[in-house]
């Protein structure tokens, strides 16, 4: 009986293929980046904290250690193209070519995820350069990642090309950009309102006007009987979104719901993935 063999990981190009590296980052498409902990720790507190947590050798699963080099492997969710560009911005090497808003957005998302603030700042400035040539994509990416300067630059570029507002309503229609799928209706509404109603550039609002302060949320109510106290049969504690605890019998939940059954009797976890 034939079976499909799993693809083997490949090694990234230089400078991420050095044999004296001390850790491996594996991308979602199975490309291994051989890197140095000290560089990652300097640019990312996420990686710094990760490296400081002691890991006993006996706790490492076989799939977490490279069989030839013996280096630990960290599984990441980013594609190798994104990871390559991100790491080149961290290393003392030539900067990668980012020729589109999509390229910038992918790397920017990873930089913010790993709290690489210096890299994110560099990418934010690069995004500004697309505000005239890729206005809608730039606006969308800027809104997605909370970059007010880039969002404002794109909105102003759109407004300038359509001065006159209501009198020139049909002058330029917004064309679809895939990046716009990631923004909220509110962000699009603020762009359109600025386009049709603003009389000067300074009227653009990146966020909606501040709302009145809300009252202090009271403590969550106590759970009612029979879920308020642990019993000889209850073996599971369920917490609701508002912080209420329910003492329940896990088997009853599992028998009543396949979703709970999967949560309670879940299979062994897969290799660790940073999300």
pLDDT tens for each residue of 166-215: 445 555 677 888 999 989 999 999 998 988 888 888 889 887 555 555 55
The pLDDT-based confidence of 268 (bands split at 50, 70, 90) is: very low
pLDDT of residue 25: 95
Residues 160 and 131 sit within 8 Å (Cβ to Cβ):
no
Q: Which is more confidently placed, 192 or 111?
A: 111
| pLDDT of residue 134 exceeding 90 | yes
Q: Of the segments 30-34, 50-54, 191-195, 271-275, which one has the largest average pLDDT value?
A: 30-34
What is the rounded CA–CA span in Å between residue 141 and residue 195?
18
Angle between helix 80-90 and helix 117-128 axes, rounded to 10 deg: 110
| pLDDT of residue 220 exceeding 80 | no
pTM of the entire structure?
0.70
What is the rounded CA–CA span in Å between residue 76 and residue 70?
18
Structure tokens, 26: 């594996």
What is the rounded CA–CA span in Å between residue 104 and residue 119?
11
For the chain, the average pLDDT equals 82
Structure tokens, 35: 């890197």
What is the rounded CA–CA span in Å between residue 92 and residue 88?
8
For residue 235, what are the contacts with CB-CB under 8 A and spacing of at least 6? Answer: 249, 250
What is the rounded CA–CA span in Å between residue 208 and residue 193?
12
Q: In 162-266, which residue ranges form alpha helices assigned H by DSSP?
A: 185-197, 250-256, 258-264
Percent of the chain with pLDDT over 70: 80
pLDDT tens string 143-167: 999 999 999 999 999 988 887 544 4
pLDDT of residue 269: 43
Structure tokens, 145: 């990642």
Q: Which is more confidently placed, 137 or 52?
A: 137
Residues 112 and 61 sit within 8 Å (Cβ to Cβ):
no
| pLDDT of residue 132 exceeding 80 | yes
């Amino acid at each position: 009986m034939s079976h499909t063999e799993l693809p083997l990981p490949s090694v990234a190009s230089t400078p991420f293929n050095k044999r004296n590296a001390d850790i491996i980052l594996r991308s979602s498409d199975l490309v291994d980046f051989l890197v140095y902990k000290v560089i990652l720790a300097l640019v990312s507190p996420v990686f710094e904290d990760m490296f400081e947590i002691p890991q006993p050798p006996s706790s490492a699963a076989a799939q977490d250690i490279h069989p030839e080099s013996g280096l630990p492997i960290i599984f990441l969710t980013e594609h190798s193209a994104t990871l390559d560009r991100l790491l080149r911005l961290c290393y003392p090497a030539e900067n990668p070519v980012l020729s589109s808003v999509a390229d910038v957005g992918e790397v920017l998302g990873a930089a913010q995820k790993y709290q690489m603030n210096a890299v994110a700042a560099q990418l934010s400035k690069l995004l500004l350069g697309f505000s005239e040539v890729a206005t809608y994509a730039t606006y969308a990416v800027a809104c997605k990642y909370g970059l007010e300067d880039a969002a404002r630059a794109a909105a102003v570029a759109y407004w300038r090309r359509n001065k006159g507002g209501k009198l020139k309503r049909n002058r330029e229609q917004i064309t679809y950009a895939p990046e716009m799928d990631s923004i909220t209706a509110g962000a699009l509404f603020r762009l359109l309102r600025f386009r049709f109603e603003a009389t000067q550039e300074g009227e653009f609002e990146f966020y909606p006007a501040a709302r009145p302060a809300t009252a202090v949320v009271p403590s969550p109510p106590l759970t009612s009987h029979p879920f308020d106290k642990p019993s000889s049969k209850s073996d599971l504690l369920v917490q609701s979104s508002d912080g209420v605890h329910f003492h329940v019998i896990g088997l009853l939940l599992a028998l009543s719901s396949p979703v709970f059954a999967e949560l309670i009797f879940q299979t062994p976890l897969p290799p660790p993935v940073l999300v």
